[in-house]
A and B are shown apart, each in its own frame.
Chain A
Amino acid sequence: MSLFRKIFWLLLFSLLLVGAKANDFYPTLKKNYQQKKLDSLIEIYKDKGDAKGLAIAHELKGIFFQHIYYYSSSTVSNFYESAKNYVKINDSNGYYRVKKRIADLYSVDDAKYRYAIDYYKEALGFYHLKKDKVKIASYRLDLLNIAINKDTFSKKEDRLISWNREKVLKETIQDCKKFKDQRYLTYAYSLYGAYWLRKENLNDALKYTEMSLARSQSRSYLMSLNLLQKGEIQKLKNDLLGAILLFKKSELIADVQNNKYLMQLICKGQAECYTAMNNSPKALEYWQKTAEAIEKYYNSGQTQFTRSEEISNALRDATTAQELVEEKKSRRENLIYFLVALILVAGSAGFWIARVKLREKDLINQQQRAEMELKSMKSLIDGQEKERNRVAKDLHDGLGAHLSSIKLFIESQKDKYESTVQGKLLEPLAKNIDEACLETRNISHDLRPFALKFGFSAALGDLVKKAQIALPEVEVVFDTYGDEPQIGEEIALMVYRVVQEILNNAAKYAKAKQISVQVFYEPSQISINVEDDGQGFDLKVVKEGNGLGNIRSRIDYLGGQVIWQSAPNQGTAVLISIPLVNLPENLG
């Protein structure tokens, strides 16, 4: 009896143990984990081949990175990894939740919001099938958010444009009320406010923004967003002080949340207010902050890196899809095992045919993959250039013009205060603005070579001149040979970027006395030699760093060739030739 009892208790105890273990086996999404802990979990799950564990751990790691860096390649790639694993365990809710996390980041990125639309739509379709009305409402709001905030929709690519935004919004608000879902209702009111703000109906904009604001206690993102939105409204109503107060509140929250996207909008809002108030020092401070924030958001190493991840993401999507198909195939294979055996027995001829077909399919797959790689390369470069162009234009025409207006204002007041204390303060201020102007121009040039309009040589000449001014101790020589042929703008821009990168590298690392840039024009080819007499490097050691890889991928894309010639203390020569025929065409 007592033995049985002992065994019973032992059994119960061990059961409890196992139960307890099973419960904290997976980390929970509600808690914060340290990166180390997550990394070690991922290692364990990987060894075990535990897809569920991997899905959760990668999602948590993505959240962790989002909190630190916001929109970075680490954030996005972890979410992708998580999504892949959710697919493996057939957890649709998990899969769509993680895709939404990615889409939320993409939705405010000009180069990527199209992916966000795809992801949201994919989820919307799924929840339509499941008849999950609350989810439907939430994804509708996400899509509306893009529709309202991006007014640069091209009609061809998007059916979303055909939505009557106000009608869908109103319906969704009704739905949210019906389901008593406060969170999405708050979001919906905020969007309705944004909608009216776009339509310049300030009264309705204010009304709905405030309705949303009243509900957004304890929802930091919406709180910050609504405060920003209300600030914009007050600014348009000319209540500048009120607007600044709201922006400052919003700034506090966005800062804690580390939301870099909102941050740049908040800084810009304040800068505009101070400019309108003629408060030059403050305006200058905030324009600089805006420039910094824009730089951080668009131009940070992280975001740049995210861009170059584009191809791998596309490939990752493709791989996930392929794995899925294969998995399903293997399941089906079990069912038709008997049939396959029959076929085998019936004759090996059938089997061979099947194999040949499979191989053909593989070949087609490979081809499709290569094509996709080229396509994503093109869209990557296009997107990058488009965005650079936009930022450059914003900086040059927007920030630049404001800065020069501030300078003019100081110039016009200078005489009045000449011998006073204020007058003495104006002098360094004017100097600071001059420097800010110069910086703005330089950043803008780097982003968008204006002189390409006048031809490749003109643009390259400017580039060399800039390098010469920046490096007074180095002699920078620029020679062209032959007549410049017609070079398409896309090619010219890409080759320009390559030379820019090489010059940057030379300026940074070479310690040269002379850098020479030579261009040889032929009717069907351009050859470029950028050579310095600096310290050189060991080609075996610095094989393909990030910069070199960038150069190679652009040249590869143009069907050209690039050779690095360098050795320690022997200087460096980069030799490039680009054919002007047989370029990749019809990739659109």
Chain B
Amino acid sequence: MIKVTIVDDHVIFAEGLESIFLDAHDIQITARCHNAESFWNVMETNSIDVVLLDISLPDVSGLNVCEQIVRDYPNTRVIALTMHDEPSLVKKMIKKGAMAYLLKNTTKSELWAAIRTVYSGKKYYNENLMQLLLDGEDKPKKNSSMGGRPHLTRREKEVLDLIAKGLTTQQIADKLFVSIKAVEFHRSSLLTKFGSQNTPSMIKEAIEYEFIS
């Protein structure tokens, strides 16, 4: 028997959730808690296998609760069950140790499957979640100016080209029909992207990466 606890401050939802497991022979809802405090009381006296955890709780954030469960009760698995689908929040929750992340309009079969999967120690990622997480891996953060060929926009390439030809800021502005300030903006972006302190070293980098020949 898989012992499950629901942590959700919305009473009607929590009640409805419980009713979904009435005919599940291997799943038993041990308790419904409407805030983190009452949940910790339940954890002290029961051994719980799976927690269905909402993120917006009245007292403490579900993120913190998740972290604490993973740290203090290594045998208890956490499934995030929430209305939030912001990618950054999903990633945070997974990082904190949630084994599954479901939206509240999930289906009965998915809920059952998720509980059984995490109970057996495996992570349960549905299609939507996979997509969110994969996309995140796809694009490595270009948070540094070092290493790798920088990604330049069309406007930046235009400005870089004219800088390399030796034009002054005023001349570039005239040529591109933009203000001096716009040219200065792009020049400073280019310096940052190439990790250079001044124009000559930037041009050297740009030649190295074959932006200009």
Contact = CB atoms under 8 A, between A and B. Distances in A.
A284 B103 CA distance: 19
B189 A401 contact: no
A518 B86 CA distance: 20
Interface in B16-52: 16-17, 19-20, 22-23
B200 interface: no
Contacts, number: 126
Contact of B189 (A411, A520, A571): A520
B58 to A, nearest CB: 11
Contacts of B92: 454
B153 A408 contact: no
Interface in B124-161: 132, 135, 139, 141-145, 151, 153-155
Interface string A566-579: 01000101010100
A412 B20 contact: yes
Nearest to B176: A565
A533 interface: yes
Nearest to A430: B107
Interface stretch (B113-121, B162-170, B180-188): B180-188
A182 B189 CA distance: 72
B107 A411 contact: yes
B192 interface: yes
Given A412-B16, A481-B145, A573-B155, A404 B83 contact: yes
B193 interface: yes
Quick one: which of B87, B105, B144, B192 has the most chain A CB within 10 A?
A: B105
A408 B16 contact: yes
Given A412-B108, A567-B177, A396 B83 contact: yes
Interface stretch (A154-162, A459-467, A497-505): A459-467
B104 interface: yes
B13 interface: yes
Interface in A447-494: 450-451, 454, 458-459, 461-462, 465, 468, 477-483
A573 B153 contact: yes
Nearest to B177: A567
A9 interface: no
The A interface, classified by DSSP as helix, strand, loop or mixed, is: helix
Contacts of B178: 563, 565
A127 B155 CA distance: 65
A450 B19 CA distance: 31
A405 B18 CA distance: 11
B141 A480 contact: yes
A405 B13 contact: yes
A434 interface: yes
A563 B179 contact: yes
B87 A477 contact: no
A433 interface: yes
B56 interface: yes
A533 B10 CA distance: 46
Contacts of B60: none
B103 A437 contact: yes
A451 B23 contact: no
Interface residues of A, number: 52
A529 B152 CA distance: 11
A403 B106 CA distance: 12
A480 B103 CA distance: 29
A412 to B, nearest CB: 5
A401 B83 contact: yes
A409 interface: yes
A480 B142 contact: yes
Contacts of A556: none
A479 B86 contact: no
A518 B20 contact: no
A313 interface: no
B12 interface: yes
B13 A404 contact: yes
Contact of B88 (A396, A454, A516): A454
Nearest to A407: B105
A458 to B, nearest CB: 4
A520 B142 CA distance: 11
Nearest to A561: B181
Contacts of B3: none
B123 interface: no
Nearest to A459: B88
Interface residues of B, number: 46
Nearest to A464: B87
B104 A437 contact: yes
Contact of A408 (B13, B89, B145, B151): B13
Nearest to A404: B104
A445 interface: yes
B96 interface: no
Contacts of B17: 408
Contacts of A480: 141-143
A520 B103 contact: no
Contacts of A573: 153, 155, 182
A577 B154 contact: no
Given A401-B12, A415-B23, A437-B104, A527 B185 contact: yes
Given A450-B89, A527-B188, A527-B189, A412 B83 contact: no
Contacts of A565: 155, 178, 182
Contacts of A441: 83-85
A193 interface: no
A400 interface: yes
A412 B179 contact: no
Nearest to B109: A411
B189 A518 contact: yes
Contacts of B86: 445, 450-451, 462
Contacts of A459: 88
A265 B154 CA distance: 51
A405 B10 CA distance: 9
A575 B83 contact: no
A458 B63 CA distance: 16
A399 to B, nearest CB: 10
A571 B155 CA distance: 9
Contacts of B189: 518, 520, 527, 529
Nearest to A444: B83
Interface of A: 396-397, 400-405, 407-409, 411-412, 414-415, 430, 433-434, 437, 441, 445, 450-451, 454, 458-459, 461-462, 465, 468, 477-483, 516, 518, 520, 527, 529, 531, 533, 561, 563, 565, 567, 571, 573, 575, 577
27 contacts: A401-B12, A401-B104, A404-B13, A404-B104, A408-B17, A408-B20, A412-B16, A412-B19, A412-B108, A430-B107, A437-B103, A437-B104, A451-B89, A454-B88, A461-B88, A477-B151, A478-B139, A479-B142, A480-B141, A482-B143, A518-B189, A520-B188, A563-B179, A563-B181, A563-B182, A565-B178, A573-B155
Given A412-B16, A441-B83, 19 more contacts: A397-B56, A401-B13, A401-B83, A402-B12, A408-B20, A411-B20, A415-B23, A441-B84, A450-B84, A451-B89, A481-B144, A481-B145, A527-B188, A529-B185, A529-B186, A531-B153, A563-B178, A565-B155, A575-B181
